Amino acid sequence: MKRSQGGFTLIELVVVIVILGILAATAIPKFVDLQSDANTAAVQGVAGAVSSAFALNYAGVIVNATKGAAISGTAVTVSAAAGSVLQGGIPSGYAVTAAAATVSCGTAGTNIPITVSKTATPTATAGATLICTG
């Protein structure tokens, strides 16, 4: 009389489940902290876009005074300047600040360090540069 095997034994199933549990226990910690990494990367992307927008604006004003937004004067609000040069404005949930609420931007080509931050939890910040048009 021939006997055919119909499936897996209980021991084989338990061994497979234990191996999958061990693999899951080693892989989960690698993916737990992805939200803060994603927030940091998003803020760095916005900071890069703001810096690039200021550089393009400065280049446009230098080439032709009618191109770009004039970022000059003794009392420039950084968030308003960033909103005027970045297409679509500053994304919601982000803030662009400098060491002072308003900065002096009297000389063309003056570089002013600014900070881009995200207000979501967890918070993240990145640096950018405001270039004055004079």
Give the angle subtended at the CA of 100 by the CAs of 62 and 51, to the nearest 5°: 40
Kindly report whether the global pTM for this prediction surpasses the value 0.95.
no
State phi, psi for 93 to the nearest 5 degrees: 90, 0
**Which amino acid, 124?**
A
The pLDDT tens digits along the chain (134 residues) read 667 767 889 999 999 999 999 999 998 887 777 888 888 899 999 999 999 999 998 888 888 877 888 888 878 888 888 888 888 889 988 988 888 878 888 888 889 899 999 887 677 888 888 888 87
State phi, psi for 12 to the nearest 5 degrees: -60, -40
Determine the Cα–Cα distance for residues 93 and 90; give it in Å rounded to an integer.
9
